[in-house]
């Protein structure tokens, strides 16, 4: 229960512990860790949409007091759709991607993918930006 007595639904977004080598979470690109952080699901949103939307709309380099990094922080993206169908999470974004190099490009994809993979039954993630399948740049 929150301080005012309402029961709030929660979900997680995955953020990056840079250079952590998997010590704090799931080993990820560039010797990082992906670490789950609990967020509140706004009323009227599904937990999946809320998680993806929160990740995409967080515009600070680090999240709260956690010090965890968000590779999406500079990008100007909007969630057009986020749905799970037959074990596949489809994330449709529009806007502009701005990342600081190859590591951030990989982090962006891994953050979105791991955030989607936490949901029961999801075994594949497709990310589209402006209608085009998004893949991180080769290192």
Reading the block at residue 93, the tokens are 């974004």
Say yes or no to pLDDT of 4 above 70.
no
The pTM (predicted TM-score) of the whole model is 0.91
**What are the tens digits of pLDDT across the range 26-67?**
999 999 999 999 999 999 999 999 999 999 999 999 998 889
Q: Nearest Cα to 112, choosing from 72, 59, 61?
A: 72
Residue 86 within any structural domain of the chain: yes
Mean pLDDT of all residues in 112-122: 97
**What are the tens digits of pLDDT across the range 96-111?**
999 988 999 999 999 9
Reading the block at residue 76, the tokens are 């100007």
Residue 71 within any structural domain of the chain: yes
Confidence grade of residue 8 (pLDDT, cut at 50, 70, 90): confident
Give pLDDT, residue 137. Answer: 66
Residue 61 within any structural domain of the chain: yes
Mean of all residue pLDDT scores within the chain: 92
Give pLDDT, residue 138. Answer: 57
Residue 57 within any structural domain of the chain: yes
Mean pLDDT of all residues in 109-131: 97
Mean pLDDT of all residues in 60-76: 94
Reading the block at residue 11, the tokens are 């979900």
Domain extent at residue 17: 10-133
How many independent structural domains does the chain possess?
1
């Amino acid at each position: 229960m929150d301080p005012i007595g309402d029961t709030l639904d929660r979900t997680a977004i995955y953020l990056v512990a840079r250079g952590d080598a998997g010590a704090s979470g799931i080993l990820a690109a560039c010797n990082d860790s992906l670490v789950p952080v609990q967020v509140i699901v706004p009323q009227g949103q599904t937990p999946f949409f809320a998680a993806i939307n929160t990740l995409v709309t967080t515009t600070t380099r680090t999240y709260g007091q956690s010090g965890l990094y968000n590779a999406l922080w500079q990008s100007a993206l909007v969630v057009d759709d986020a749905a799970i169908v037959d074990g596949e999470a489809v994330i449709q974004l529009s806007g502009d991607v701005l990342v600081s190099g190859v590591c951030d490009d990989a982090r962006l994809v891994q953050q979105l993918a791991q955030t989607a993979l936490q949901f029961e039954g999801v075994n594949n993630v497709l990310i589209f930006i402006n209608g085009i399948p998004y893949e991180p740049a080769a290192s």
